[in-house]
Amino acid sequence: MKCINYLIFGKVQGVWFRAETQKIANELGIKGWVKNLEDGRVEVLAQGTDKQLQQFREWLNHGPPKAEVEKIEAYESECLTDFEEFKITF
């Protein structure tokens, strides 16, 4: 398992980004979390296989229909915990 931390820039708050991210993560079997940041970005920590994370990144590139993703920064990070689910955090 690998962990990737994503920062998503653009119109990504108020467009159901977190809920749809959770739905897609659950469909792909990815664990971790998603949250809004005060500066308007969305942050995601995703834990999964290379294949799962590749499919997840492809979805994150555009997000839900009303989102306007401008840029994504992704950083591989150490998996400090083995997540049991994918949740929305605050």
The 10s digit of each residue's pLDDT in 49-67 is 999 999 999 999 999 999 9
Catalytic residue among 5, 18, 26, 41: 18
> If you write DSSP's letter for every residue of the chain in order, what string do you get?
-EEEEEEEEEE-SSSSHHHHHHHHHHHHT-EEEEEE-TTS-EEEEEEE-HHHHHHHHHHHTT-STT-EEEEEEEEEE---S--SSEEE--
Share of the chain above pLDDT 70, in %: 100
**Residue 72 β-bridge partners:** 8
Catalytic, 26? Answer no
**Residue 34 β-bridge partners:** 44, 88
φ, ψ of residue 15 in degrees (nearest 5) = -130, 20
Catalytic residue among 36, 41, 57, 61: 36
Average pLDDT, the chain: 96
Express each pLDDT in 69-83 by its tens digit.
999 999 998 888 889
Catalytic, 61? Answer no
Residue 15 above 90 pLDDT? yes
